[in-house]
Structure 1
Amino acid sequence: MKTAKSLEMNAILDNSIELARASLTAEQRTDGHYCYELEADATIPAEYVLLEHYLDRIDDGLQAKIGVYLRRIQGDYETCQGGWPLFHGGKMDLSCSVKAYFALKALGDSPQAPHMVRARKAILAAGGAERSNVFTRFQMALFGAVPWEACPVIPIEAVLMPDWFPFTMRKVSYWSRTVMVPLMFLASRKPLARNPRNIRIDELFRTNPAEVKDWIRGPYKSAWGPVFKVLDDVLRVAEPFFPKGSRAKAEAKARDWIIERLNGEDGLGAIYPAMANATMMFDYLGDKDNFDIAWGSVRKLLVVKEDEAYCQPCLSPVWDTALAGHALAEAGEAQAVAEACDWLIPRQELNVVGDWADNTPGTRPGGWAFQYNNPHYPDVDDTAVAAMLLHRAGDPKYAEAISRAREWIIGMQSTNGAWGAFDINNDRQYLNHIPFADHGALLDPPTEDVSARCISFLAQLGYTEDRPAIERGIAYLRETQKPDGSWFGRWGTNYIYGTWSVLCALNVAGVAHNDPMMIKATAWLLAKQREDGGWGEDNESYGDAPPGEFHGHAAESLPSQTAWALLGLMAAGMTDHEAVKRGIGYLQAVQGEDGSWKEAPYNAVGFPRVFYLKYHGYPRFFPLLALSRYKQLLASNDRVVKYGF
């Protein structure tokens, strides 16, 4: 018999869910989809400012608004020494700070302004602009701020290399491919920015760029580093003597490759760096038609508000729509879910055989991209989440889409039993040690979180013939569990994200809740709960700290990460645990009056230790999913989570 207190608590829970459901439903667009802001650090907005100066297409009003944004996110002196961090509350990053300073100076900020003085001191104290990363040095070379010798040699002839060659475009990740091909063209021709206001950043160098002798140096990540440094030295001497015929052939192939994948208003690879590089390439070639397409795709990424503006790294409508759909389905919002599913269906790629097919010939396309359109580069993670939503919606008209997604997911399983995000078996680790790859993210190897999502999808479908693929995936997850019980999160911050993803997969795949890896994982989550009942982890957990030091700890609890932890615990059969009750209480306590949640810290990652992301939609749909699932499980007899997400 329910007590008055339990009835009151149920009423409070119902009210929280209803407010969140109404808020999320109201944000659905008229055609059924969702798309929230996707924010990175100062790098992309700064690069956009510099792109306008490179092209001499300066929009002073827009640049002024971007300046407001860049000044606002400049780090404080205590944690960032006046530079810019890679994520909210993070430490100063040299390369990000160089680009932000360069952009602010370009849009008119005086070097003597207090914020510029602070930034300059921080940059010089960190070694000066000459010690910035490869992509920053390429940016500076395009403006003549450093000689091209500052950049690693990446001969465009690489696009001609056969499969047996150690380095080809087919051996690196999709994002590396789309960024590098137009960049190699630019490096081949070495154009110079128009830079109509003649903006220079000489004051950011501790050594005159003309006198720097060691642009590429250690510490190296492995014994491969010195080997590739010698190879770079050799190529630097040899490149001027490469046959002109092969260079012309390579440039033509690169141009044709880019045009084939230009992707209209959604852009090359649908990511900013590739789109910007393509824009500069077509500008150099005088190809107005393709320039207009590329430039338009870049402009589509802008977020322009009344008082400030910034440029997003890409758009996330498929991901946002699928995630919002799961939250709404859990909350019982059938109509909104149907509209979301109907929007997703025509965006499934069924015809274009993309780059992913190089290592899985015969597999038919059937995936979804992350963005509105990106047919050559569907995303395994998006595909699994979108197809799980279609499956739980239960409409027979989605059967063919689900079947094609299943076929593609199975075809994309790597030989180690796991899944990468965009490619299969993309794990030639020696390539992460070439001088160009100082970011350490040239590849797309299989990861725990993406593998968990694929297992969840296949297990949710329940086909007996898929069991071998599922078991191989589970074996991979068993091998990759950390000693403390957590799993790494490649695409979300970080161990909370990875652990939640895996627990959901193990549960729906039928792994017993008393399995040792489930017990270790839930014990880890319970140990990381904070005093306020929530969970929080910042992106320092991707850094150099000893294992465990940052796992699950941040300056504050976050609604999205609390929801992940709760979903993981509930998937592991712990709905009635006091920790789950406290976590639900935290979500209710921090819910906004409009029914949604907000969080300032970043909650995801593009490239660990290099590029981080803040999904503005995460605190909107994950807490609703957790609250609604909690309500459904309390009302059930078996407390069993039946879905893989």
Structure 2
Amino acid sequence: MSKQGTCEKNAWERGRLSAHHDDTGSLLASAESAISLATDWFTTQQHADGHWCAELEGDTILESEYILLLAWRGEEKTEVARKAASYIRSKQQSHGGWSLFPGGELDISVSVKAYFALKLTGHDPEADYMREAREVIRHHGGADAVNSFTRFYFALLGQISFDQCPAVPPEMVLLPSWAPVNIYRISAWSRTIFVPLSIVWARRPVRQIDDRLGIRELFLREPRDWPPLTSPGKHAGLVATAWRTFFRTVDSTLKLAERWRVRPLRRRALRTAEAWMLDARSIQGQ
């Protein structure tokens, strides 16, 4: 390289490093400004005795599922259900559905549960916002496309059969902690869902609601023709295909055993699952 070329290269490097320094300095200044603003805001929100209290923001799943649970108990017309429904309505996005976060894309499971909750609490299905929600939900696959967990709420309220839900055998709680597959191989948060869900799957309690409160209008096909359940995670690639095949095979096998009543440990499993829930509840001080 010529002397001139070397000088030009060095000048370019110095300019690049200087620009990088300027960008870094600007980023740090922005970060420090944001931290200062956040700190000032937190100070203004602190109560006199030193504590903070604010809304734990998220999607509307908890409110929707709470209303669905109340409906299963026959309490969908209570004041608390009305307030939860009002909150759900306030979070409807501009696209007509509901999302996992403010301003996000439509999430089909979140949206279907929100629509169901509103309808159960007396919202007119012919109101503009309900009609808009219904149309956008159907456009995105309808109730047919919800996740496996949402299907359980449908079954509890008589919208579909438990046969359309994934198999969650309570016998899993009997497996020892050293076994390759056991409830302690999943996260603590997941266990608090899996164990009670296994009792629901085994007992299959259903409250048949009035057809006018149901959501058949969100079904694109009959539930027996809905797409098969998929394993969590990515759905493309060889590994994903293998896991999907594995889960579907296990699900079919467990359901076949259930149909033929091959469940010699069911009573013991249910007692163990119940005891586990009560122990977990006492540990948490609830």
Number of matched residues? 245
| Aligned-partner Cα distance in 1 for 2:105–2:227 | 26
Given candidates 76, 85, 89, the residue that maps to 1:71 is 89
Aligned match of 1:220:
235
> Kindly tell me: are residues 262 and 217 of structure 1, through their superposed partners in 2, closer, same or farther at Cα, counting changes over 3 Å?
closer
Q: For the Cα contact (< 8 Å) 1:182–1:254, is it kept in 2?
A: yes
> Kindly tell me: are residues 245 and 21 of structure 1, through their superposed partners in 2, closer, same or farther at Cα, counting changes over 3 Å?
closer
Given candidates 249, 256, 272, the residue that maps to 1:230 is 249
Question: In structure 1, what residue type is equivalent to 2:163?
Answer: E
Q: For the Cα contact (< 8 Å) 2:172–2:183, is it kept in 1?
A: yes
Cα drift, residue 65 of structure 1: 2.5
The two structures have a TM-score, normalised by structure 2, of 0.77
Aligned match of 2:181:
167
Q: For the Cα contact (< 8 Å) 2:63–2:85, is it kept in 1?
A: no
> Kindly tell me: are residues 69 and 237 of structure 1, through their superposed partners in 2, closer, same or farther at Cα, counting changes over 3 Å?
same
Aligned match of 2:270:
251
DSSP 3-state at the match of 1:261:
helix
Aligned match of 2:147:
133
| Aligned-partner Cα distance in 1 for 2:60–2:282 | 26
Given candidates 138, 143, 162, the residue that maps to 1:148 is 162
For residues 626-637 of structure 1, what are the structure 2 equivalents within 5 Å? none
For residues 479-628 of structure 1, what are the structure 2 equivalents within 5 Å? none
Q: For the Cα contact (< 8 Å) 1:160–1:250, is it kept in 2?
A: yes
| Aligned-partner Cα distance in 1 for 2:168–2:179 | 15
Cα drift, residue 228 of structure 1: 1.9
Cα drift, residue 59 of structure 1: 4.8
CA distances 1:541-597 after superposition (whole Å, capped 9, x unpaired): xxxxxxxxxxxxxxxxxxxxxxxxxxxxxxxxxxxxxxxxxxxxxxxxxxxxxxxxx
Aligned match of 1:39:
57
> Kindly tell me: are residues 234 and 156 of structure 1, through their superposed partners in 2, closer, same or farther at Cα, counting changes over 3 Å?
same
Q: For the Cα contact (< 8 Å) 1:53–1:194, is it kept in 2?
A: no
| Aligned-partner Cα distance in 2 for 1:57–1:263 | 26
> Kindly tell me: are residues 258 and 127 of structure 1, through their superposed partners in 2, closer, same or farther at Cα, counting changes over 3 Å?
same
Cα drift, residue 70 of structure 1: 1.5
| Aligned-partner Cα distance in 2 for 1:17–1:217 | 42
Cα drift, residue 45 of structure 1: 0.7
2:111 equivalent to 1:97: yes
Question: In structure 2, what residue type is equivalent to 1:23?
Answer: T
Q: For the Cα contact (< 8 Å) 1:155–1:239, is it kept in 2?
A: no
Q: For the Cα contact (< 8 Å) 1:128–1:206, is it kept in 2?
A: yes
> Kindly tell me: are residues 166 and 186 of structure 1, through their superposed partners in 2, closer, same or farther at Cα, counting changes over 3 Å?
same
| Aligned-partner Cα distance in 1 for 2:114–2:201 | 23
Cα drift, residue 266 of structure 1: 6.0
Identity %: 35
Aligned match of 1:23:
44
DSSP 3-state at the match of 2:102:
coil
Q: For the Cα contact (< 8 Å) 1:156–1:184, is it kept in 2?
A: yes
CA distances 1:502-530 after superposition (whole Å, capped 9, x unpaired): xxxxxxxxxxxxxxxxxxxxxxxxxxxxx
Cα drift, residue 142 of structure 1: 0.8
> Kindly tell me: are residues 239 and 21 of structure 1, through their superposed partners in 2, closer, same or farther at Cα, counting changes over 3 Å?
closer
CA distances 1:17-63 after superposition (whole Å, capped 9, x unpaired): 996575244x25x4x54342212212111111111111123453333
Higher Rg of the two aligned structures = 2
Q: For the Cα contact (< 8 Å) 1:85–1:97, is it kept in 2?
A: yes
Q: Could you list the runs of 5+ residues in structure 2 that have no partner in the other structure?
A: 1-35
| Aligned-partner Cα distance in 1 for 2:255–2:40 | 62
Aligned match of 2:21:
none
Q: For the Cα contact (< 8 Å) 2:92–2:98, is it kept in 1?
A: yes
| Aligned-partner Cα distance in 2 for 1:250–1:175 | 20
| Aligned-partner Cα distance in 2 for 1:172–1:50 | 26
2:135 equivalent to 1:121: yes
Given candidates 177, 182, 191, the residue that maps to 1:177 is 191
Aligned match of 2:100:
86
Aligned match of 1:208:
222
Question: In structure 2, what residue type is equivalent to 1:113?
Answer: A
> Kindly tell me: are residues 243 and 120 of structure 1, through their superposed partners in 2, closer, same or farther at Cα, counting changes over 3 Å?
same
2:79 equivalent to 1:61: yes
| Aligned-partner Cα distance in 2 for 1:21–1:231 | 50
Q: Could you list the runs of 5+ residues in structure 1 that have no partner in the other structure?
A: 1-14, 268-645
CA distances 1:221-264 after superposition (whole Å, capped 9, x unpaired): 51221122122112211223455540000000000010111148
| Aligned-partner Cα distance in 2 for 1:61–1:161 | 43
> Kindly tell me: are residues 244 and 87 of structure 1, through their superposed partners in 2, closer, same or farther at Cα, counting changes over 3 Å?
same
For residues 259-408 of structure 1, what are the structure 2 equivalents within 5 Å? 259-263=278-282, 267=286
Aligned match of 2:70:
52
Cα drift, residue 73 of structure 1: 1.0
Q: For the Cα contact (< 8 Å) 1:156–1:188, is it kept in 2?
A: yes
Aligned match of 1:424:
none
| Aligned-partner Cα distance in 2 for 1:53–1:68 | 16
2:213 equivalent to 1:199: yes
DSSP 3-state at the match of 2:213:
coil
Cα drift, residue 124 of structure 1: 0.9
| Aligned-partner Cα distance in 2 for 1:231–1:101 | 32
| Aligned-partner Cα distance in 1 for 2:80–2:70 | 10
> Kindly tell me: are residues 100 and 133 of structure 1, through their superposed partners in 2, closer, same or farther at Cα, counting changes over 3 Å?
same
The two structures have a TM-score, normalised by structure 1, of 0.36
Aligned match of 1:188:
202
Question: In structure 1, what residue type is equivalent to 2:75?
Answer: R
DSSP 3-state at the match of 2:281:
coil
| Aligned-partner Cα distance in 2 for 1:244–1:19 | 61
Q: When you count helix as a share of all residues, which structure comes out higher?
A: 2
| Aligned-partner Cα distance in 2 for 1:35–1:208 | 46
Cα drift, residue 156 of structure 1: 0.8
